[in-house]
Amino acid sequence: MRIKEYRTEFLQELTPIYDAGEAESFFYLILEEKNQLKQIDLALHPDLIFSADEIMVWNSLLESLKKEIPIQYILGKTNFYGLDFELNENVLIPRPETEELVEWILESQKSKVKSQKPKILDIGTGSGCIAISLAKNLSDASVFAIDVSEKALATAKKNAAINEVNVTFIEKNILETEDLEQQFDIIVSNPPYVRNLEKEEIKKNVLEHEPHLALFVEDNDALIFYRKIAALAQKNLSPNGQLYFEINQYLGVEMKDLLEKMNFKNIELRKDIYGNDRMIKVDLR
């Protein structure tokens, strides 16, 4: 079968579930990953064909997409901050908003004295996307990363190797931790922050396939991770240290109030590319 003809069938199968642009993006992502062909190749060579074996592979992928399994899990990989990351059902899919958080941290380091070698801790690292991106772009930094999930850490360690960076990974339940036992210049976290009451806003492909351990908190204590991490930061940030969080877009005011009451200084709340309150930075003093 000609690839162009299969493309038509592929899009017809998916457009009842996804919008046309998203369905088409899936087709070309798979085409590049599985067949090493780009959209321009199909345009220049309209008579390219799929073999019977290739069609079997594509039909299997199509069935997964129809079940709304995220394309990143189907392909087992994604790109974050210009780096490649392996993914599986044990870790969240990194979002563009989190790239903005990484960019904010990197921008803040440009004004630092070059001789300083920052010590950074990422709490709730998941795939390792934040820690690894920082380690890749701050060659003098010492980067540490914590997660409660052994399986998530195994994925993060693979990703550190893929991207040729040194990150010290630690298995730890942060809610049961009283002291981090060393000082850090930067602590960053993108902890679980989606309340159960917000589940109806979550797309099926996220709700049914991404790890709930990394997503949800109870409605009556939505800031549990932030409060605990901020308390640890009071003990374990260096004197001029900074704390960065990705946050629930609906709880920006509550986050500022929490950090003000804990006597953090220079609180800065930022919006993401979609105009939502999404990240916050504070100084220890």
Q: Tell me the per-residue pLDDT of 92-148, one tens digit each, with 9 for 90 and over.
A: 999 999 999 999 999 999 877 665 789 999 999 999 999 999 999 999 999 999 999
The neighbouring-strand residues paired with 244 are 188, 281
Q: Is the pLDDT at 169 greater than 60, yes or no?
A: yes
Structure confidence at residue 111 (pLDDT): 75
For the segment 142-156, the average pLDDT, to the nearest whole number, is 97
> What pLDDT does 263 receive?
95
pLDDT at 27 exceeding the cut of 60: yes
> In terms of Cα–Cα distance, which of 38, 20, 17 is closest to 29?
38
Cα distances (angstroms) measured from residue 24 to each of 11, 33, 39, 75: 7, 14, 10, 16
Does the pLDDT of residue 200 top 90, yes or no? no
Section 177-199 average pLDDT: 94
How far apart CA 42 and CA 55 sit, in angstroms, is 16
| pLDDT surpasses 90 at 18 | yes
- Which contacts (CB < 8 Å, 24+ apart) does range 275-279 have? 276/249, 277/247, 277/249, 277/250, 277/251, 277/252, 278/97, 278/100, 278/101, 278/246, 278/247, 278/249, 279/97, 279/100, 279/101, 279/104, 279/244, 279/245, 279/246, 279/247
User: What letter does residue 209 receive in the DSSP assignment?
Assistant: T
Query: Is residue 201's pLDDT more than 90?
Result: no
Neighbouring CB atoms inside 10 A of 219's CB total: 10
Query: In this predicted structure, what is the pLDDT of residue 248?
Result: 96
| pLDDT grade for 189, boundaries at 50, 70 and 90 | very high
**Other CB atoms within 10 Å distance of the CB of residue 150:** 9
Instruction: Give, to the nearest 10 degrees, the angle between helix 150-162 and helix 129-137.
Output: 30
Q: What is the chain's mean pLDDT, rounded? A: 94
At residue 39 the predicted structure's pLDDT band, cuts being 50, 70 and 90, is very high
Q: List CB contacts of 89: < 8 A, sequence separation 6 or more.
A: 73, 209, 210, 211
Task: Determine the pLDDT at residue 47.
Answer: 95
Q: Give the pLDDT band of residue 285 (cuts 50, 70, 90).
A: confident
Q: How confident is the model at residue 13 (pLDDT cuts 50, 70, 90)?
A: very high
Rounded average pLDDT over 183-200:
92
Please check the confidence at residue 206 and state whether its pLDDT lies above 90: no
d(CA 101, CA 123): 14
Percent of the chain at pLDDT exceeding 90: 87
Pair of tokens at residue 45: 């060579």
pLDDT of residue 116: 75
Average pLDDT of 238-267?
Answer: 96
